[in-house]
Structure 1
Amino acid sequence: MLTAERDTPPAPDWRTLPAAQQPDWPDDAHLRRVTDELAQLPPLVVAAESRDLTSALARVAEGQAFLLQAGDCAESFSSFSAESVRRRLQVILQMAVVLTYSSGVPTVKIGRIAGQFAKPRSSGSETIGEVTLPSFRGHIVNGDAFDTDSRVPDPDRLLQAYHQSAATLNLLRSLTRGGFADLNQVHSWTQTFVTGTAQGQQYKALADEIGRALRFMTACGVDTSSLPTLHETDFFTSHEALLLPFEEALTRVDPLTGLRYASSAHTIWIGERTRQLDGAHVAYFSSVANPVGCKVGPTATPEEVVELCQALNPDRVPGRLTLITRMGAARIEDGLRPLLRAVRDAGHPVVWACDPMHGNTFTSESGRKTRRVDDILDEIAGFFRAHEAEGTWAGGVHVELTSDDVTECLGGSHEILDSDLATRYETVCDPRLNGRQSLDLAFRVAEKLRERAAG
């Protein structure tokens, strides 16, 4: 656990440093009024929960658990409902059961949910025809409709994001502690459109095995009703912490330790576009005691990654830092191995997770941003090969998905073609795996975990 007394000097105040990917708020006084109000609201999560996650991630860093971090590309104000939250949790629980049963180690479950509203953009503006407007930066900032009024950043959206996150967290806690996550329910977690597929049949066979195992335990005299781990689960929340005024407003001092915690989520991460060592995001992340993540792309050098480890986890606390690689299928194996060696040799106890989505994005012939499922799976395979070659632990995957029957990523066992993309292309930002593709990915990762265990 992080301690209040540290040998290293405190991080500089993020306000004095350049902050990338910040909206051009039209009224600073309005923004201050909103952040002052946020500062008075209850925390979304408490410090003890974040410490529990640090402990769980420490087991991942030590090779004793596997991380599944998954959820929406960008949460929406317009499509929010209790049913959508339940379905997203459902597909993550399905994937976690597949991974845990296959690997024999616990799966740490973190959702990109209850706060994943802001999105970085490669350009501050976008042009359609002869009209140029500010880019859509997520519903926490502005609207996705392509008109002038929608694209004006509105600080009141920060409050709406807070309240939607609070409602989502309340429901997630009820579901994961109130019987929905009971292992006896594994059959009921399959979405209707997955049931008749090859993935659905494979999942049903696994669920049948789990059911038989539970019945065997009961027959042997084990009172499974008294084992809470069979009936409820730990589920944590995360988001990319882009909007530093929002994060600072929700930062709280833990009365037990005296440490500062970001109370907006159990864990937050820095994106590829905001991980500058002399930037505001690294400074803010260095000032909070939550477990944190940092995306690492193909331009990252071994020296830079070691410096990020030192800046974000100077006390070398296991579970404090997750490095999330996003390199692309063609680059992952050769690009990752020097980073693995450098971090290992420097003695930093990080969790390594693979984001196989962002390095494999392209624009299809039909003009839609998409990803190929085969490229996603190839990057995961390369991630495992790189770790095997270096003798390090391939700790987890970080994926963008939805439980809905969308057509946003090409391929999969129920193949989606370029001509199919327009059928149900519903994302407000990046293309996501649908429920079938997500389950297929879980089984493919499970194969890698079994191969690693056998080796």
Structure 2
Amino acid sequence: MEWSERISAALSRPAAQQPPWPDPGQVRSVSAFLATLPPLVTPEEIRALRRQTARVARGEAFLLQGGDCAETFDAPREHLVGTAATLLRMAAVLAEATGTPVVPVGRLAGQYAKPRSDAVDGLGLPVYRGDIVNAPAPDPHQRIPDPVRMIQAHRTARAALDLLRTGRFTGVHTSHEALLLDYERPQLTVDPTDGLLYGGSAHLLWIGERTRRLDGAHVAFAELIANPVAVKLGPGATPAEAAEYAERLDPHGEPGRLTLISRMGSARVREVLPALVERVAATGRQVVWQCDPMHGNTRVSALGYKTRHFDDVVDELEGFFEVHRALGTHPGGVHLEFTGDRVTECLGGPGEVTESDLGGRYESTCDPRLNVDQALELAHRIAELSAKGTSLFR
């Protein structure tokens, strides 16, 4: 079967969280235009990351992934620089403390689409689905899904990548949730050197908790591409599901091809995660196990702000490491939402952000992020665990 036929078959499956585009013809026109543009990332760059994630899967390195919850088109250059610099500062802390290489992967240059629980927001407007779909402003017209925004997303991502490829950021790879399939499909490219299909929008692509259905288009899409791919697993994930992701998304048993990202919440990680890890290990696959300690610990403050507490984030990370130490498996990485800015979106941590502080600099358009001080403190906390003999690494 030709690649075009395989792609069409995969994307004809049920696809959750896709925008209700008002004009399908316009979507096709935008997709056709995107298909004429060069890929944002190259197969050679993707293969370089695959070699690094293979080391992580073998227990020889650690994967540090993080950045904005939802990137915006109008974010200043300084914001990208600050976030990328924070990622590298955290990586340096971990590498120095553990003596182990750290692979930095940013939620950068593509994290423009967001899955949402409801179709409308509290004002009765179509929900904001990320800058690639509509605008966050509470205006009915700006909330109408606009496929032309996919072109702006590509341009913004290109500018971000141009910046990351210069100077001290050359070692940072990019990633985002492969949510919007109308954006991902036209950027697929076949590399003539190996005949494989690559997703050209980012080096690493992941499938979210809301779109990981095994019979869905997102998993079928991930099966086709040669990029390293990841799947987020919430507390409702079963061992059988985790094993099937491993078998389908890593059919050839290639270390580091697949990352499984647990996002259980601090109250559930020690209970749920062990059975998943054991079942996947029984398949013989060397996957990367990564912890997202953010999404399972979201709460709403008394004043209505979505927030997370630094202590809950730390507790889930500690539980994640405890599980892997007990099983003798490698806790391969962390997946965080943070910014290089001094926002006040997450409670606690350095500076002891309180509920009354949240409104001071709450700038996220979606979920709360650790600020630069909280992110760096978290890196030090992880390093302290290693220094105390509760090492992240085998």
- Structure 2 length normalisation: TM-score? 0.96
1:298 paired residue number: 235
Q: For the residues of structure 2 that align with 1:377 and 1:264, how far apart are their CA atoms?
A: 32
Deviation of the 1:447 alpha carbon: 1.8
Structure 1 contact 384–448 (Cα < 8 Å) conserved: no
User: Secondary structure of the equivalent of 1:77?
Assistant: coil
Q: For the residues of structure 2 that align with 1:333 and 1:50, how far apart are their CA atoms?
A: 33
1:115-144 deviations in Å (ceiling 9; x for gaps): 00000001111132xxx1111000000000
1:389 paired residue number: 326
Q: For the residues of structure 2 that align with 1:310 and 1:146, how far apart are their CA atoms?
A: 44
Letter in 2 for 1:299: G
Letter in 2 for 1:111: G
Structure 1 contact 326–359 (Cα < 8 Å) conserved: yes
User: Secondary structure of the equivalent of 2:63?
Assistant: strand
1:424 has 2:373 as partner: no
1:118 has 2:129 as partner: no
- The 5 A counterparts of 1:244-323 are 244-323=181-260
1:144-196 deviations in Å (ceiling 9; x for gaps): 011110110001100000000000000000133xxxx6xxxxxxxxxxxxxxx
Q: For the residues of structure 1 that align with 2:140 and 2:374, how far apart are their CA atoms?
A: 36
5+ long unaligned stretches in structure 2: none
Structure 2 contact 42–200 (Cα < 8 Å) conserved: yes
Deviation of the 1:78 alpha carbon: 2.3
- The 5 A counterparts of 1:123-134 are 123-128=118-123, 132-134=124-126
State the identity as a percent. 52
Aligned length: 389
User: Secondary structure of the equivalent of 2:339?
Assistant: coil
1:346 has 2:338 as partner: no
User: Secondary structure of the equivalent of 2:316?
Assistant: helix
1:273-303 deviations in Å (ceiling 9; x for gaps): 0000000000011011100010011000000
Q: For the residues of structure 1 that align with 2:312 and 2:286, how far apart are their CA atoms?
A: 29
Q: For the residues of structure 2 that align with 1:13 and 1:309, how far apart are their CA atoms?
A: 21
Q: For the residues of structure 1 that align with 2:253 and 2:31, how far apart are their CA atoms?
A: 32
1:31 has 2:27 as partner: yes
Q: For the residues of structure 2 that align with 1:439 and 1:414, how far apart are their CA atoms?
A: 13
Moved more, 307-316 or 23-32: 307-316
Structure 2 contact 247–283 (Cα < 8 Å) conserved: no
Structure 1 contact 334–386 (Cα < 8 Å) conserved: no
Letter in 2 for 1:92: L
Moved more, 423-432 or 311-320: 311-320
- The 5 A counterparts of 1:8-407 are 13-79=9-75, 81-128=76-123, 132-176=124-168, 234-407=171-344
Letter in 2 for 1:271: G
Structure 1 contact 102–446 (Cα < 8 Å) conserved: yes
Deviation of the 1:389 alpha carbon: 0.7
Letter in 1 for 2:41: V
Deviation of the 1:304 alpha carbon: 0.7
Moved more, 81-90 or 253-262: 81-90
User: Secondary structure of the equivalent of 1:124?
Assistant: coil
Structure 1 contact 102–449 (Cα < 8 Å) conserved: yes
Q: For the residues of structure 1 that align with 2:316 and 2:66, how far apart are their CA atoms?
A: 16
Q: For the residues of structure 2 that align with 1:393 and 1:94, how far apart are their CA atoms?
A: 23
Q: For the residues of structure 2 that align with 1:346 and 1:94, how far apart are their CA atoms?
A: 36
1:331-374 deviations in Å (ceiling 9; x for gaps): 01111000111011111110000000000001011111000000
Structure 2 contact 11–220 (Cα < 8 Å) conserved: no
Q: For the residues of structure 2 that align with 1:73 and 1:367, how far apart are their CA atoms?
A: 18
Letter in 2 for 1:238: S
Q: For the residues of structure 1 that align with 2:82 and 2:122, how far apart are their CA atoms?
A: 35
Q: For the residues of structure 1 that align with 2:282 and 2:222, how far apart are their CA atoms?
A: 24
Larger radius of gyration: 1
Q: For the residues of structure 1 that align with 2:145 and 2:384, how far apart are their CA atoms?
A: 45
1:79-115 deviations in Å (ceiling 9; x for gaps): 2x22221111111111000000001110000000000
Structure 1 contact 12–283 (Cα < 8 Å) conserved: no
Q: For the residues of structure 2 that align with 1:324 and 1:89, how far apart are their CA atoms?
A: 21
5+ long unaligned stretches in structure 1: 5-9, 182-232
Q: For the residues of structure 1 that align with 2:145 and 2:386, how far apart are their CA atoms?
A: 44
Q: For the residues of structure 2 that align with 1:277 and 1:11, how far apart are their CA atoms?
A: 16
Q: For the residues of structure 1 that align with 2:390 and 2:44, how far apart are their CA atoms?
A: 33
User: Secondary structure of the equivalent of 2:27?
Assistant: helix
Q: For the residues of structure 2 that align with 1:33 and 1:175, how far apart are their CA atoms?
A: 37
Letter in 2 for 1:390: L
Q: For the residues of structure 1 that align with 2:154 and 2:19, how far apart are their CA atoms?
A: 18
Q: For the residues of structure 2 that align with 1:305 and 1:15, how far apart are their CA atoms?
A: 22
1:207 paired residue number: none
Structure 2 contact 246–283 (Cα < 8 Å) conserved: no
Q: For the residues of structure 1 that align with 2:101 and 2:54, how far apart are their CA atoms?
A: 12
